[in-house]
Structure 1
Amino acid sequence: MAKKTLSVVARKKSFRNWIYGNLTCFSQEHMQTFGYLASMLPVVEDLYEKDEDKVEALSTYTTFFNTEPQIGTMVVGLTASLEEARANGESIDDETINGLRAGLMGPLAGLGDSIIVGTFIPILLGIALGLASGGSVLGPLFYIVAWNLIMYFGMKYAYNRGYSLGSSAVEALVGSESESLRSSIVMIGTMVIGSVAATWINVTTSLNIAGVDIQATLDGIFPKALNLLFVYLCWWLMTKKKINPTLVMLILVVVALVGVLVGVFNPGLSY
């Protein structure tokens, strides 16, 4: 029997289904399950001829799946490679594939959140905010174009890399050598968030006690101290008190309003 090889057309369709539909029918119960299933449809169609074989193969991808969509694209490419191997008679079963998917989705979610959400998006937004100063349309245009181009080609690379590496991608992604990379990325992401907070948040006080300008005193001891205080307050409310971000924003509005009315904050308070 001739060896079955997943066609380039099928891989392109699989990638397209994932990039546009990874959140298809998203719910708290299934998360990205159906988006993943949609991305594997072209793969299964290309590798199997009998309908019963297609149904059996697709049933593998009905189990729960959820990860960071961009970095997680590598898992889709990886399972496409494993499905190709299974179609050629290699000893790969549902348990093996789902074990790899379940084992990778958590670490990749942490890696993706650190790189994409915690580092890359804040950097892009910081640049866009700078370009948008004075009401320039360059800011939003830059972000839309830059994000979509980098996201598309980055995800395409991740898919193809996962497909080419096959099962060897597992060690590269969750092995001991990747731990230092993840720790470094988390550190960089934390520094980026701190830089954004120091640059774009502007909390100042108009308090003057016994002739002492409190804001000037704070600036001399610890510049941006109030910025840090408000960022820490938001973190404490959301992580320790489990208050959702919308309610936290409402709390900040009330604090700002009351603070300005009683003369604690300057009317130019922004965050």
Structure 2
Amino acid sequence: DNTEELKTAARTHCAPFFNTSNFLNTIITGIDLAIEEEEGIQSLETVASLKTGLMGPLASIGDSIFGSLLPTIFGALAANMAAQGNPLGIFIWIAVNVVVDWFRCKQTYIAYDQGMKLVTTMSDQLNAITDAATVMGVFMVGALVSTNVGIVISAPIDLGGVTVDLQHICNMICPKLVPAALVGFVYWLLGKKGMTSTKAIFIVLILAIILGGLGWIAKG
């Protein structure tokens, strides 16, 4: 009769705080199952430490790749294709999500088969994967800013009878400088205490309405 051991194992799993990416959480589940099955009740301390140690790295990787990177890349691709009247974008989006869901189901079995060996294998690759996802995410954000944020300075400035085109000057300094400045402004706002993405959106909307009404900015 292993009822008491089962109760002890259940209490052990309920005790520690466990919060990680829902895209990679089953990797930890599979490893835990393999260890508990092999070592029994003696594995509970190892399993608890494993969950605590892996939830942070896997959360950053899962959220970066599956929560931000893939939706940004393929969502923008599908939206741009749809805006141009091409229906293939939705099928690309569906295919990506099918692959992601298949991976989420498959990784449990992979982690269970590999057990502790997977931990040692991953430990040498987690930093590299995280860094690669970060670089690619920054690259894609920059590309999306230049292609999807359309705003130009439309207000001419008269200096001693000479009309100065600020937008042309900005383009000479750096193409898409104004959209980049807008994104930088939003990024600065989000760093302020008490600021949320919803508040930042309303601030940008209000500024766009005021400046657009004054004729200082226009859609690019």
TM-score, normalized by the shorter chain, greater than 0.5: yes
Tell me if 1:238 matches 2:190: yes
Partners of 1:213 and 1:158 in 2: how far apart?
56
Confirm or deny that 1:112 pairs with 2:62: yes
Question: 2 CA distance for matches of 1:192 and 1:103?
Answer: 30
What fraction of aligned residue pairs are identical, expressed as a percent?
26
> Are residue 77 (structure 1) and residue 24 (structure 2) matched?
no
- Runs of 4+ in structure 1 off by over 6 angstroms are none
Provide the alpha-carbon RMSD of the alignment: 2.2
* 2:135 aligned residue: 187
Matched residue type, 1:76: T
**CA 242–161 in structure 1, closer or farther in 2 if over 3 Å, else same:** farther
Shift of 1:134: 4.5
Gaps of at least 5 residues in structure 1 are 1-48
What is the aligned partner in structure 2 of residue 18 from structure 1? none
Q: Which runs of 5+ in 2 are unaligned?
A: none
The alpha-carbon deviation at position 97 of structure 1 amounts to 0.6
Aligned pair partner of 2:121 in 172, 175, 189? 172
C-alpha displacement of 1:242: 4.5
Classify the secondary structure of the residue corresponding to 1:69. Answer: coil
Give the letter for the 1:158 counterpart.
Q
Q: 1:206–1:263: 8 Å Cα contact kept in structure 2?
A: yes
Deviation (angstroms), 1:214 = 1.6
Q: Is the 8 A contact 2:57 2:126 kept in 1?
A: no
Corresponding letter in the other structure for 1:101: K
Q: How many residues align?
A: 215
Are 1:163 and 2:112 an aligned pair? yes
Distance, in Å, in 2 between the alignment partners of 1:201 and 1:72 is: 35
**SS of 1:263 mapped into structure 2:** coil
Q: Aligned equivalents of 2:193 and 2:181: distance in 1?
A: 16
Paired amino acid for 1:161: I
* Mapped partners of 1:240, 1:167: distance in 2: 42
- TM-score computed with the length of structure 1 as normaliser: 0.72
**1:101 equivalenced with 2:47 (yes/no):** no
Describe the superposition over 1:173-223 as per-residue Cα deviations: whole angstroms up to 9, x where unpaired: 334x43233222211111111111221111111121121222222222211
Higher RCO (C-alpha 8 Å, min separation 6): 2
Per-residue Cα deviation, 1:26-62 (whole angstroms, up to 9, x for no partner) = xxxxxxxxxxxxxxxxxxxxxxx74433333222221
Q: Separation in 1 of the partners of 2:4 and 2:201? A: 53
CA contact (8 A) 2:156 2:166 kept: yes
SS at match of 2:154: coil
Distance 1:222 1:149 in 2: 40
Aligned partner letter, 2:48: N
Matches within 5 A, 1:1-271: 50-62=2-14, 63-87=16-40, 91-92=42-43, 94-134=44-84, 139-140=89-90, 142-143=92-93, 145-175=94-124, 177-210=125-158, 211-266=163-218, 268=219
Deviation of residue 249 (structure 1)? 0.4
